[in-house]
Amino acid sequence: MAFYDHYNYQRYWRGREYEHEAEIVALEKLFGQIPLKNRQTILDVGAGFGRLTPIYANRFVSCVLLEPSQKLINQAKRKLQYQNLEFKSGQGESFQLKTKFDVVLTVRVAHHIQDLPSFLKNINHHLKDNGFLILEFANKTNFKACLKALFEGNWSFLKNLASTDRRSPANINQETILFLNHHPVKVREDLKQSGFEVVTRLSVSNFRWPILKKFVPTGILLRGEKILQLFLAKINFGPSIFILAQKQ
Ligand SMILES: C[S@@+](CC[C@H](N)C(=O)[O-])C[C@H]1O[C@@H](n2cnc3c(N)ncnc32)[C@H](O)[C@@H]1O
């Protein structure tokens, strides 16, 4: 049974409208950079209940949603009304499809992946020549994490390319699903090693601070996202980094 079969992922999104919309802002920008000739087929790896499907369903002729949790696949089938969707069960590291895609999207999945190069190589194999990948990963070196490391006197934090395991000791003991924050330098190396060249990077959910979310209207935070995502990626500021990369 997949982890998300017994987790209420739809409920997770209640109260996270800002984070969801910040991701939409980023995806609008990245899809806007993909040429029209590369807009036939898209594969969403770890599609969940299809939260992001409305952003791409009308941009592509056909869309495949790959997901290990049958519960989430069933939710997506019930919720999504588009005619151009196909659903597949599978894991990012090991799925095998006969089709090659123009674009692969994978958001909020890399934090469950230990062996990122294998995951990226399998995706690369399923892309057409010069196809595009939109990859989101949880950023180990986000501003808050750097501040914490500074206070703890952890001077090697930035240099250490190993991913940070975000699970509690109890969850590690019970071997629950991984929650890894990846180092941006390592992700860039893994992308290169897996046959990708980075086109654009965006820093997303930059204002995910409880005090800001409480007192600043979401519309203003999102305006900040629109303006700052590109710049803040240069300093790996936010908790989430979106990358547009092209198959070499
Ligand atoms: C946090 S959810 C994100 C879902 C969706 N991409 C979104 O942004 O709403 C993580 C998803 O990744 C899926 N997942 C977990 N391990 C995976 C793997 N090895 N390969 C592909 N998907 C995986 C989970 O079942 C879950 O649907």
Residue 158 contacts residue 142 (beta carbons within 8 Å) = no
Q: Write down the pTM of the prediction.
A: 0.97
pLDDT tens digits, 40-76: 999 999 999 999 999 999 999 999 999 999 999 999 9
Residues of the chain with pLDDT under 70: none
Residue 175's pLDDT is: 80
Report the nearest-CA residue for atom 12 of ligand 1.
46
Residue 46's pLDDT is: 98
Residue 171's pLDDT is: 85
pLDDT tens digits, 107-117: 999 999 999 99
User: At CA 47, angle to CA 44 and CA 53, rounded to 5?
Assistant: 75
Q: How far is the CA of 50 from the centre of ligand 1 (A)?
A: 10
How is domain 3-247 classified at the CATH fold level?
Answer: Rossmann fold (3.40.50)
The residue type found at 127 is: L
Residue 72's pLDDT is: 98
Report the nearest-CA residue for atom 16 of ligand 1.
112
Q: How far is the CA of 151 from the centre of ligand 1 (A)?
A: 33
Residue 126's pLDDT is: 98
Q: How far is the CA of 121 from the centre of ligand 1 (A)?
A: 17
